[in-house]
Structure 1
């Protein structure tokens, strides 16, 4: 068994076989794999019905039109290849900007291999192989998160891939609303023999688990009814559902109820705002909670929930983030889960969704090979600070949440677009089912694996690539989602983040005479931000201009050769309305900036450098190269250049 990581953070040898490499060191491996499976695809075509005649004769290759077309195609492909050389060099350890890096070879090759087969994972009719893979991917991710992942268990989890985290977050909202409103529909339909809540408020405020249990009871009741009774009651309940009448009709019929709120941290991704608008809830129903140190303020959550209960304002979801987009910080998921359970006992149920689009794969570090949760001491071995007690407790609570978003195309090192949505109990997904006779079949078996072979019934998309699914599935098979396999990758990134953080503090001391430098937040994961301000300057706007000039040397510029850039980074901002007064004052004081200068033109927020430490080759011990050291040397040169100019 490979060791997870070493105290020095040296790269495990297995990782060297995982990537094409910064210098394309594994080009022979990639070429052999692609050619081998391209030839295999050709043979598959030739052996499908070998008795069929050859449709494209050898004479065609000599026809002028054929030759002209081939020449145009080759010319345009060369043009494309040339244009793509201006792309961002995500593969390079000199790239420490956004959430992208080199791609894992298993996923890249599996996707290339699958593309010529062109499966559409909307149903098994269009993708008999990759649909099953997608169901398995959901179970792989469920196991990583701590959800039940045995299809024989009634409460087994379910997951599917999406184009990205945004669509996965939409799916979370969609499922949460369906689950919340369904008990009200059962009451409105007056279904006999079911144990229903006594009023609409109680029905609308069941916990997700209680709503799923009621839905399962309804499904069982239908199996006992006659065919005629079943049709009657299905139609009656369907007519009463929110999906039939829409928000306007539903809340007009149930005037004692209010449209539910979505509670999310103020640092939440903008997809939550888009999702609330898309679902028809409206932006006003998204309540953004204040933060402490870029992590959800638990006291503010508690206060908001108390107010909602007092005002009989329903809550649809409380959203926690595992790895914020800007700072990589982790919300107290365990505290949010605890609040859900306490308020459900008081008659106000809501779901908990974790937006782990960035940090989801960090959970591999917390899983033994048998899927069990590792102790904090075991996870922390070899690291300097990771994981903090708060981060450990947050990740350990993932299995108690109701749904999670994960992006394989981020910390899963897979091609865009591969997001994922996973819910704790698959039975709830039946509330999302659609019917399309030409795609889905009424006689589909009802056992777990067969049920989801018509994925299009349950997912937002009407068409989706099976090639992306194959890439994720094969990667998870080659690198199982536990600490001894896939966990080697995020472990490596955490080592790099800790090294970067330490080097940033050294940089701050070395440059103290000319520039104030600070890391605003101790990193929870593998994103590290750095704030800078020239000594003697007290205006936020001037500090922002200085940092933007630094970023000009760190951003991709298509008008210049890529080789002109030594490093590639990104920026983000610190907003006073997000930080709060105390945190804003702390950061501005450390940088020598006046609070009074906030609000001036160009100074309503503080611009800072943002670094994503994903690349496995940031520290090359074999060649004695640290790109982290090189970066700070480059940054020092640029700071001196700007101050001198």
Structure 2
């Protein structure tokens, strides 16, 4: 049955609301399903007598415990009033906003059941939902998502994008090294490459096909030979030998590089260290205007082939954490496909932790990709051609990171990892006798009911899974339903951009204001420099003072702040020298001299997630109010 079409008033029911307008709806849901949980407990075995006596509440020990619990909960509730007001349209700082009611209610509903999605034994319901969530997200990005046909994608939730990026590294390394293990073990009949370099550079698709051939070949062997060959290959795998022994046994190979843009999240550095590849093997690619430079990537790949330096993966960012910009994912995919015949195979991973859900704007209810002209209706500039090309190329990437707890408006602890072909996941399978049954389940859904074999975590909350699954069912991941949310935020970003330009004209006699680059998504940055100043350090000090009045101060009441924002920096490495000079010239600043401590520029960063930044019901634009507030602060901060 098709989901109910979205209506204009749908967004009003999606959240608790800035003023907690939907408190009655949330309260009814929580009470209804708490009672439902209570009845479930009472009807599990109704013949069992109550273990807690009915007069227990009158016992002094009981009452003392209740009093302590109430005291601590009241203290916690009071302390939490100093939390960041993510729910408010006055919050335009980091990547957080109000929570979608379907996800919030589903998580609260599921918490008392406390499922652990490590396996079907601990989570017989939510482990199935997690497999479905992976397929929901796969459809959103254009991956194959029919579990009855190969190739089919696979996805699972993680604690966040950082862990999903680690999983991408694990899978890319396993795929790259597995053909070497087959060669070292001397497996016959698989048409293996003649040398280690070629085997190490088969590329992810060919390596996955080799995994399938190996499994089929192994299944055809007699029981004794099956065990012997399996043990022989396992002994040669990089996961068993470790990096040191593996590369010592194959001296013609080097530890591979990971190529990522300078704006890549710091989780890539952490991941390289965690896997033992080493931070030195993470090569940060130059950029142009905050986006990976395809020419620089090509030059690096030329050098890698010339030096016989393997590449593990090329990483593109779909919505950078700091600026919201979109890398040319199509150029990364084209580079992978062009270099493979030349003998340099590598994976393409897209870090779409921030921007992943923007793909709903580009997806029809039947799963097809919308043309750019259709997406652009109702927007001033979105999507720019390179953004549409990047979305289209997501379907050809090898793996993707997405964070439901960012633009999915879901509680923290919900990141996601996707790979385009689930058959590669066999290389990550682990076994623990006390958790997993010793058999090979048939069928896609049955195979992944023991999720703990494939994921980095040992335990994981099923309540988060329920939140994501129910949200995707209530708001399907297409432009008619869920896409209404990012559409609202993109319109807010365009309005913010326009207001910023008008603001810059109003204050040009006092402060020079620049939007360094038009937004690709729903983040907008603004740079400042007092008129007459040419020193970057002075401009940075001014921006920091502005930011000091836009962040949470736990020592002061939240109500003392009119708005909340965040700050970041522009660096020549990310912009390119030409881009940096362009912005400095527009601000009237001199370039930093060699050796200056402040060669970067501090700017204000605004994440425009809240659906009510433009409150048409009450005729309020919080964006316009913000710039009036900023103008007042500029006048107060400037010396007389």
TM-score of the alignment, normalized to the shorter chain, above 0.5:
yes
Question: What is the CA–CA distance in structure 2 between the aligned matches of 1:259 and 1:444, rounded to whole Å?
Answer: 33
Matches within 5 A, 1:10-25: 12-25=8-21
1:457 aligns with 2:425: no
CA contact 2:591–2:599 (8 Å) conserved in 1: no
Partner of 1:353: 349
CA contact 2:592–2:599 (8 Å) conserved in 1: no
1:99 aligns with 2:102: no
TM-score scaled by structure 2? Answer: 0.99
- The structural deviation recorded for 1:578 is 2.6
Matches within 5 A, 1:545-556: 545-556=541-552
Question: What is the CA–CA distance in structure 2 between the aligned matches of 1:480 and 1:583, rounded to whole Å?
Answer: 39
SS of residue in 2 equivalent to 1:533: strand
Partner of 2:314: 318
1:643 aligns with 2:638: yes
Question: What is the CA–CA distance in structure 1 between the aligned matches of 2:376 and 2:240, rounded to whole Å?
Answer: 50
SS of residue in 2 equivalent to 1:571: strand
Q: Residue 572 of structure 2: which of 576, 586, 592 is its match?
A: 576
CA contact 1:91–1:615 (8 Å) conserved in 2: yes
The alpha-carbon distance between structure 1 residues 519 and 3, as it changes in their structure 2 partners (threshold 3 A), is farther
Partner of 2:424: 428
Aligned pair count reads 638
CA contact 2:316–2:327 (8 Å) conserved in 1: yes
1:400-459 deviation line (CA, Å, top 9, x unaligned)? 000000000000000001000000000000000011011011224221000000000000
Question: What is the CA–CA distance in structure 1 between the aligned matches of 2:292 and 2:441, rounded to whole Å?
Answer: 43
Partner of 2:514: 518
Question: What is the CA–CA distance in structure 1 between the aligned matches of 2:594 and 2:139, rounded to whole Å?
Answer: 47
Partner of 2:269: 273
Question: What is the CA–CA distance in structure 2 between the aligned matches of 1:628 and 1:337, rounded to whole Å?
Answer: 38
Question: What is the CA–CA distance in structure 1 between the aligned matches of 2:312 and 2:149, rounded to whole Å?
Answer: 27
CA contact 2:291–2:574 (8 Å) conserved in 1: no
Question: What is the CA–CA distance in structure 2 between the aligned matches of 1:600 and 1:286, rounded to whole Å?
Answer: 26
Question: What is the CA–CA distance in structure 2 between the aligned matches of 1:326 and 1:598, rounded to whole Å?
Answer: 26
1:302 aligns with 2:298: yes
Matches within 5 A, 1:196-211: 196-211=192-207
Question: What is the CA–CA distance in structure 1 between the aligned matches of 2:4 and 2:290, rounded to whole Å?
Answer: 35
1:69-119 deviation line (CA, Å, top 9, x unaligned)? 000000000000000000000000000000000000000000000000000
Partner of 1:8: none
Partner of 2:369: 373
1:491-550 deviation line (CA, Å, top 9, x unaligned)? 000000000001101111111111000000111000000000000111111111111111
Matches within 5 A, 1:128-277: 128-277=124-273
The alpha-carbon distance between structure 1 residues 4 and 398, as it changes in their structure 2 partners (threshold 3 A), is farther
TM-score scaled by structure 1? Answer: 0.98
Partner of 1:628: 623
Question: What is the CA–CA distance in structure 2 between the aligned matches of 1:427 and 1:3, rounded to whole Å?
Answer: 35
Question: What is the CA–CA distance in structure 1 between the aligned matches of 2:146 and 2:79, rounded to whole Å?
Answer: 47
1:43 aligns with 2:3: no
SS of residue in 1 equivalent to 2:116: coil
CA contact 2:289–2:576 (8 Å) conserved in 1: no
SS of residue in 2 equivalent to 1:446: coil
Question: What is the CA–CA distance in structure 1 between the aligned matches of 2:493 and 2:461, rounded to whole Å?
Answer: 34
- The structural deviation recorded for 1:59 is 1.8
Question: What is the CA–CA distance in structure 2 between the aligned matches of 1:173 and 1:503, rounded to whole Å?
Answer: 41
- The structural deviation recorded for 1:597 is 5.4
CA contact 2:475–2:482 (8 Å) conserved in 1: yes
The alpha-carbon distance between structure 1 residues 471 and 268, as it changes in their structure 2 partners (threshold 3 A), is same
Question: What is the CA–CA distance in structure 1 between the aligned matches of 2:541 and 2:171, rounded to whole Å?
Answer: 44
- The structural deviation recorded for 1:4 is 8.0
SS of residue in 2 equivalent to 1:161: strand
Question: What is the CA–CA distance in structure 2 between the aligned matches of 1:4 and 1:576, rounded to whole Å?
Answer: 44
Question: What is the CA–CA distance in structure 1 between the aligned matches of 2:608 and 2:509, rounded to whole Å?
Answer: 28
Q: Residue 601 of structure 2: which of 606, 609, 629 is its match?
A: 606
Question: What is the CA–CA distance in structure 1 between the aligned matches of 2:256 and 2:223, rounded to whole Å?
Answer: 36
The alpha-carbon distance between structure 1 residues 564 and 598, as it changes in their structure 2 partners (threshold 3 A), is farther
Please give the root-mean-square deviation of Cα atoms over the aligned residues, in Å. Answer: 1.1
1:603-641 deviation line (CA, Å, top 9, x unaligned)? 231100000000000001111100000000000000011
CA contact 1:96–1:567 (8 Å) conserved in 2: yes
The alpha-carbon distance between structure 1 residues 76 and 505, as it changes in their structure 2 partners (threshold 3 A), is same
